Amino acid sequence: MVRIEADALRALADRIAGPMAGAFNRAVELLYGCQGRVVVTGMGKSGIVARKIAATLSSTGTPALFMHPVEAVHGDLGMVVRGDIVLTLSASGETEEILRLLATLKRLRVPLVAMTCDNTAPIAPAVAGGSARATRSTLAAAADVALDCSVAEEACTLGLAPTASTTTMLALGDALAMELAEKRGFKEEDFANLHPGGKLGKRLARVESLMHSGEAVPRVAPQTTMPDVIYEMSRKKLGVTAVVAGEKLVGIISDGDLRRLLEKRGKDVLDLTAGECMTKNPKTIAAGEFAASALAVMEEKKITSLAVVDGDGRLEGIVHLHDLWGTEMV
């Protein structure tokens, strides 16, 4: 059964690279130039696939929504306005609920892209002694662009349940969405902005959403004495303090730095200032970077904290290894 669907996908790939290349590219250009939203519709199993395609488009930079064709003829068709594009899915291309929408869509002059599983080849010419034979379905013939999702056979042993056909529809929808994302220059940070929740959102979290800022940031001046430095570090409980001159970061003092200084100089350390004990030019990160980037720096340098600075070197916060635990990366 799986091989039947795999064969259907291979055939679809061959069509996209071959005879359907022009139609596929026209569909991409239509969707790319859409000034409104892509309204995806379908009935039954095709409708379930349509919902997924709408979700994939929306999550990769192309605003889209699903419209149920039955609800559409009872008022929801008002969600379609000029500037939108309608993407319709129908295995037969003759789904009654879909065909009811055509007159209104034509009146609104909304471009129509159809995915059907009928043979969407051009109308066959007349043969001697006979008449021309139309091989397109009503939906495919009415569409501005018709995309062929036809399959040699369904995986269903009865040949009735939509299986291979819905798989090809889903794959074709994904292909359109990915082509559009690439054409729009959709990047990892754009994906992160659209996926703030769940495990994926945590893994793509920004440093600015995790860092300690404001009064929670331990900071001292270069002339601060070490007893006051130790007090600030203990009070803020991050095992580190930033050393700032004005607002600019000039150094870092960590628990490890303190231990090494005590081993080397003993109680004389208490007579020193933060400027004399700090690590100059510490590793930093920008607030807009991914949490994953902060983790990579910490692992590479074997440190547990990073100062967060802006483009001018001003201290904005501190991100600690503990802050990354909730992202499920650690």
Cα distances (Å, whole numbers) of residue 183 to 16, 180, 275? 17, 5, 51
Question: Rounded to whole angstroms, how far apart are CA atoms 94 and 140?
Answer: 9
Residue 64: predicted pLDDT: 95
Question: Rounded to whole angstroms, how far apart are CA atoms 260 and 269?
Answer: 10
* Dihedral sign computed on CA atoms, order 30, 32, 34, 40: positive
Entry pTM: 0.65
List the Cα angle 22/28/29 in 5-degree steps.
90
* 73 DSSP 8-state letter: T
Amino acid at 235: R
User: Can you state the percent helix, strand and coil of the chain, rounding each to 5?
Assistant: 45, 20, 35
- The pair of structure tokens assigned to 9 is 């996908």
- The answer to whether the beta carbons of residues 50 and 40 sit under 8 Å apart is yes
- The answer to whether the beta carbons of residues 220 and 245 sit under 8 Å apart is no
Q: Is 127 helix (H, G, I), strand (E, B) or coil?
A: coil
Q: How far is CA 63 from the centre of its chain?
A: 12
Question: Rounded to whole angstroms, how far apart are CA atoms 152 and 17?
Answer: 18
Residue 202: predicted pLDDT: 60
Return the CA Rg of the chain. 30
pLDDT tens track, the chain, 330 positions:
899 999 999 999 999 999 999 999 999 999 999 999 999 999 999 999 999 999 999 989 899 999 999 998 888 888 899 899 999 999 999 999 999 999 989 888 999 999 999 864 444 444 444 444 446 899 999 999 999 999 999 998 887 788 999 999 999 999 999 999 999 988 766 676 666 665 566 667 788 888 999 999 999 999 999 999 999 999 998 999 999 998 999 999 999 999 999 898 888 889 999 999 999 989 999 998 888 888 888 888 888 899 999 999 999 999 998 887 755 554
Residue 185: predicted pLDDT: 87
Q: Which of 306, 309, 242 is nearest to 278 (CA)?
A: 242
Total Cβ atoms within 10 A of residue 220: 23
Question: Rounded to whole angstroms, how far apart are CA atoms 149 and 171?
Answer: 9
Per DSSP, the residues of 4-20 read HHHHHHHHHHHHHHTTT
Question: Rounded to whole angstroms, how far apart are CA atoms 196 and 313?
Answer: 28
- The answer to whether the beta carbons of residues 251 and 278 sit under 8 Å apart is yes
The pLDDT tens digits for 47-80 are 999 999 999 999 898 999 999 999 988 888 888 9
Q: Which of 316, 322, 242, 235 is nearest to 274 (CA)?
A: 242
- The answer to whether the beta carbons of residues 24 and 165 sit under 8 Å apart is no
Q: Is 279 helix (H, G, I), strand (E, B) or coil?
A: strand
Residue 329: predicted pLDDT: 52
Would you say how long the chain is, in residues? 330
Which run of H or of E encompasses 320?
A: strand 315-320
Q: Is 80 helix (H, G, I), strand (E, B) or coil?
A: coil
- The pair of structure tokens assigned to 86 is 């309608």
Query: Burial letters for 77-98: b for 16+ Cβ neighbours within 10 Å, e otherwise?
Result: beebeeebbbbbbbbebebebb
